[in-house]
Amino acid sequence: MTIEIELKFIATPEAAEKLATTLAAMPHQHVAARELTNIYFETDDNQLRRWDMGLRIRGVDQRYEMTLKTSGKTVGGLHQRPEYNVDLDAPDLDIALLPAEIWPQGTDVAALQQRLEPLFSTHFQREMWLVQFADSEIEVAFDRGEVAAGEFSEPLYEVELELKQGSRADLLSFAAKLIDMGGLRLGSLSKAARGYQLAQGNPPRPLRTFPLLKIPAKATVEQGMINALSAGLNHWQYHEEVWLRGNPAAKTSVLEALDALRQTFSLFGALVPRKASSDLRQKLTRIEEVLTNDDQEAQELCFSLASVEAQLALTHWLVESQWQNWLDDKNKSKLQGSFKRFSDIMLSRIAADLKETFVDVQLFNEFQDKATRLNRQLLAVHLLAGAYPAEEVNNWMSSWQTLQHAIHIKQERGLNTLVNQAVKQVPFWLNSGASR
pLDDT value at residue 436 = 35
Q: What is the dihedral of CA 80, 35, 302, 375, to 10 degrees?
A: -40
What tens digit of pLDDT does each residue of 150-189 get?
A: 999 999 999 999 999 999 999 999 999 999 999 999 987 8
- What tens digit of pLDDT does each residue of 66-103 get? 999 988 777 766 777 788 999 999 999 999 999 999 99
Q: Where are the alpha helices (DSSP H) in 245-338?
A: 250-267, 274-291, 298-302, 305-319, 329-335
Q: How many CB atoms sit inside 10 A of residue 98's CB? A: 17
**Residues with Cβ < 8 Å from 126, sequence gap 6 or more?**
33, 34, 36, 141, 142, 143
Give the 3-state secondary structure of residue 5: strand
Average pLDDT over residues 43-55: 93
Least confident residue range of 209-213, 295-299, 406-410:
295-299
Chain centroid, CA 268 distance in Å: 20
Confidence check: pLDDT of 58 > 70? yes
pLDDT band at 14 (very low <50, low <70, confident <90, very high): confident
Question: Which residues is 38 bridged to in the sheet?
Answer: 58, 122
Q: Is the pLDDT of residue 294 over 50?
A: yes
- Asked if the model's pLDDT at residue 431 lies above 70, the reply is no
The C-alpha atoms of residue 343 and residue 375 are separated, in whole angstroms, by 18
Residues 6+ apart with CB under 8 A from 122: 36, 37, 38, 40, 145, 146, 147, 148, 156, 191, 195
Q: What is the 3-state secondary structure (H, E, C) of 155-223?
A: EEEEEEEEEEECCHHHHHHHHHHHHHHCCEEECCCCHHHHHHHHHCCCCCCCCCCCCCCCCCCCCEHHH
- How far apart, in whole angstroms, are the C-alpha atoms of residue 114 and residue 117? 8
- Residue 330, classed as helix, strand or coil, is helix
pLDDT at 78: 75
- In this prediction, residue 2 has a pLDDT band, given cuts at 50, 70 and 90, of low
> Taking 60 as the threshold, does the pLDDT of residue 285 lie above it?
yes
> Residue length, the chain?
436
Count the Cβ atoms, other than its own, within 10 Å of residue 92: 9
The strand pairing partners of 7, in sequence order, are 78, 161
